[in-house]
Chains A and B, each alone.
Chain A
Amino acid sequence: EVQLVESGGDLVQPGGSLRLSCVGSGFTFSSHWMAWFRQAPGKGLEWVANMNPDASHKSYLDSVKGRFTISRDNAKNSLYLQMNSLRAEDTAIYYCARGNLHCFDFWGQGALITVSS
Chain B
Amino acid sequence: DIVMTQSPLSLPVTPGEPASISCGSSQSLLQSNGYNNLHWYVQKPGQSPHLLIYLGSNRASGVPDRFSGSGSGTDFTLKISRVEAEDVGVYYCMQVLQSPITFGQGTRLEIK
Residue A101 interfacial (CB < 8 Å): yes
The range of chain B's interface size is: 20 to 34
- Which of B35, B99, B104 has the most CB atoms of chain A within a 10 A radius of its CB? B99
Which B residues are in CB contact (< 8 Å) with A108? 48
The range of chain A's interface size is: 20 to 34
The A52-68 residues at the B interface (CB cut-off 8 A) are: 59, 61-62
Which A residues are in CB contact (< 8 Å) with B54? 101-103, 105
Which B residues are in CB contact (< 8 Å) with A45? 41, 43, 49, 92, 94, 103, 106
Interface residues of chain B, those whose CB is within 8 Å of chain A, are: 35, 37, 39, 41, 43, 48-51, 54-55, 58, 60, 90, 92, 94, 96, 99-106
Q: List 29 A-B contacts (CB under 8 A).
A: A37-B49, A44-B90, A44-B92, A44-B103, A44-B104, A44-B105, A44-B106, A45-B41, A45-B49, A45-B92, A45-B103, A45-B106, A46-B103, A47-B101, A47-B103, A50-B101, A62-B100, A101-B60, A102-B35, A102-B37, A102-B96, A103-B37, A103-B39, A103-B51, A103-B54, A103-B94, A105-B54, A106-B51, A107-B48
